[in-house]
Amino acid sequence: MSPSSPTSPKRLSQAKRAGLIFPPKRFTNRLKAGNYAKRIGLGSGLYLAAILEYLVAEVVELAGKAAYDNSKRRISPRHIMMAVRNDAELSDLLKEVHFKESGVLPSIPRILLHTIQQRRKLQRDGELPSDNVLSSQVEEVTPQGDSLIFAENPASQSGKVLIQAIKKEKRVREVEEDEEERKKRKKEKKDKKRKSSLKQEKEKEKKSKSKSDESASKERKEKEERKKRKKSGSDSPSPKSY
């Protein structure tokens, strides 16, 4: 029977023949993409697809139970994390995996979780080491090309990260203080300029007011003098006619 005849059976994929949902061909291509392609056998992708599908099914089943126990209708990253951590084998297999958005905070040093004011208060109370103590723990480094070589007794990696973060925070604080000082000086200069302009305007208003008062008083005096002259002219006797 020719393959082009309509009655020929439909060709099944490798996943269908193995009864899998995950495509083994993609796993095979991924495995052969590395430098060890010659060591990859024909059934490697099939076995890997079957193993991963089993693990996913197991995790989804446990996560579904966790969601049902918490009266939730959808599986969230928190439920996946609970499913993995509550199973001994899965927890041992995925012990180095961090589940994003699962409600678990990463391992961050405590000193980095506080603001500058809170850290200073904790340092005064003695709950956190001071910046001088932390900076004294750093060993001197010598530049060599583009890299840095530490001394024979370097601090631990977490201590280095912590000290670098503190130094960075110091630099940021200094920059912020300089910026605040610059803004303060600028504001003082602006206020001084505004006060001087207001003073000049007041002086101008005072001068214009004094000028107007002088002109008004002068006009009043002139009016009074005209009235007096007019009155004195009317009071004088008229000449006799012969």
CA 176 to chain centre: 16
* Alpha helices in 5-73, H assignment, sequence order: 14-18, 24-31, 44-69
Residue 148 main-chain phi, psi, to 5 deg: -125, 135
Averaged pLDDT, 159-187 = 79
Averaged pLDDT, 116-131 = 68
Q: Do 83 and 59 touch, CB atoms closer than 8 A?
A: yes
Which token pair is 155?
């601090």
CA–CA distance, 191 with 227 (Å, rounded to integer): 53
Q: How far apart are the first and last CA of the chain?
A: 168
Averaged pLDDT, 100-116 = 64
Q: Do 174 and 206 touch, CB atoms closer than 8 A?
A: no
Residue 127 main-chain phi, psi, to 5 deg: -80, -25
How high is the pLDDT of residue 238?
55
pTM: 0.39
Helix pair 44-69, 24-31: axis angle to 10 deg = 120
Cα→Cα distances 118→109, 114, 174, 211, 227, Å: 15, 6, 17, 63, 84
How high is the pLDDT of residue 56?
93
Cα→Cα distances 71→60, 77, 100, 143, Å: 16, 15, 22, 59
Q: Do 98 and 104 touch, CB atoms closer than 8 A?
A: yes
Ranking 32-46, 99-113, 174-188, 213-227 by mean pLDDT, the lowest is: 99-113
In our burial notation (b when 16+ CB lie closer than 10 A, e otherwise), range 184-196 reads eeeeeeeeeeeee
Q: Mean pLDDT across the chain, nearest whole number?
A: 75
Check pLDDT > 50 for residue 239.
Answer: yes
**What are the extents of the domains in the chain?**
14-93, 110-208
- Based on DSSP, count helices (H) and strands (E) in the chain, helices before strands: 8, 2
**Which tens digits make up the pLDDT trace of 125-148?**
766 666 554 444 444 444 444 333
**CATH for the stretch 14-93:** 1.10.20.10
pLDDT classification of 228: cutoffs 50, 70, 90: confident
